[in-house]
């Protein structure tokens, strides 16, 4: 008797320079498993080395983005003595968040429905966030007696400021899409039926920008978050500009501007 293979926990699709990674456990609101997280991290790292990939989209199948860690799986593994929170974070969750922040290509979150716990961390770790109007962010860790993890304790205070971040973490009240937009947590909010088109349009805009400029801008901004001295960052900008100023894309950008035509960037 043949046994059907279980569906993949995430789907990977490359079209027109955009890699879309879709969390694919809709029956569990795309709750995260260890194998799912490690596979996603591997896919992001691989995309960073693939010149055919110019941007990455992370989305969820069905009616939710991601409900966070699969707590049912956690409970079973704890009962079996096979789960320890810190070890699981180091092994599965943290490498994905770090990969998203390190990859020097734009990473766009397409968020519909709930983004809770580590699912919210995953969305916020992305460079740009486009939300359906029905999206809601839950900092659900306090509900289960834990601290925010998967980068949330780093991401949220930088996005909201300390007081609002603490309130959100302590009280675990949801932040609806429009409120998230007003707070600067997300970039755009659209009608649910327009989410895919809005993400595609944003990616098209990103693909029109010089790839090396995108990459080194992300690198510079990441560094700036940890650089307390302005003069140090000014020098770093000068170093990056010296490098980019010698690229073919810079020459093409100048020529296109003077000739009043769209530039044709090649990442060179």
pLDDT digit string, tens, across residues 133-192: 999 999 989 988 999 999 999 999 999 999 999 999 999 999 999 999 999 999 999 999
Q: What do you get for the CA distance between the two ends of the chain, in Å?
A: 54
Q: Which phi and psi angles does 114 have, rounded to 5°?
A: -80, 140
What is the pLDDT at residue 4?
Answer: 59
Beta bridge partners of 114: 136
Please tell me the distance from the alpha carbon of residue 185 to that of residue 195, in angstroms, as a whole number. Answer: 17
CA-based torsion, 230, 236, 238, 241: positive or negative? negative
List, in sequence order, the alpha helices (H) in the chain.
34-49, 71-79, 85-88, 94-102, 118-125, 152-160, 162-171, 177-183, 195-207, 211-224, 230-244, 248-258
For the whole model, what pTM was predicted? 0.94
What is the 8-class DSSP label of residue 143? G
Question: pLDDT, tens digit, for every residue of 53-89?
Answer: 999 999 999 999 999 988 777 767 776 777 688 999 9
Tell me the mean pLDDT in the region 100-112: 98
Q: Is the pLDDT of residue 255 over 60?
A: yes
- Cα 54 to the chain's mean position, in Å? 15
Q: Is the pLDDT of residue 1 over 80?
A: no
> Helix %, strand %, coil % for the chain, to 5?
55, 15, 30
Both structure tokens of 189: 């909010």
Both structure tokens of 57: 């989209």
% of the chain with per-residue pLDDT over 70: 96
CB 222 within 8 A of CB 101: yes
């Amino acid at each position: 008797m043949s046994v059907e293979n279980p569906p993949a926990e995430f789907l990977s699709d490359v079209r027109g320079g955009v890699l879309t990674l879709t969390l694919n456990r809709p029956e569990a609101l795309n709750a995260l498993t260890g194998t799912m997280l490690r596979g996603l991290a591997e896919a992001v790292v691989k995309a960073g080395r693939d010149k055919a990939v110019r941007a990455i989209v992370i989305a969820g199948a069905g009616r939710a983005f991601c409900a966070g860690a699969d707590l049912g799986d956690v409970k079973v593994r704890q009962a079996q003595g096979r789960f320890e929170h810190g070890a699981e974070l180091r092994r599965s969750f943290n490498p994905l968040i770090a990969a998203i922040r390190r990859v020097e290509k734009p990473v766009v979150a397409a968020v519909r429905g709930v983004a809770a716990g580590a699912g919210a961390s995953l969305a916020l770790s992305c460079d740009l966030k486009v939300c359906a109007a029905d999206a809601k962010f839950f900092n659900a860790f306090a509900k289960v007696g834990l601290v925010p993890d998967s980068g949330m304790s780093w991401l949220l205070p930088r996005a909201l400021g300390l007081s609002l971040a603490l309130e959100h973490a302590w009280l675990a009240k949801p932040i609806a899409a429009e409120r998230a937009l007003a707070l600067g947590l997300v970039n755009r909010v659209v009608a649910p039926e327009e989410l895919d088109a809005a993400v595609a349009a944003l990616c098209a805009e990103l693909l029109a920008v010089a790839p090396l400029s995108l990459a080194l801008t992300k690198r510079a901004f990441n560094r700036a978050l940890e650089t307390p001295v302005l003069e140090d960052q000014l020098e770093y900008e000068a170093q990056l500009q010296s490098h980019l100023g010698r690229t073919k894309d810079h020459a093409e950008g100048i020529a296109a501007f003077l000739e009043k035509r769209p530039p044709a960037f090649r990442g060179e």
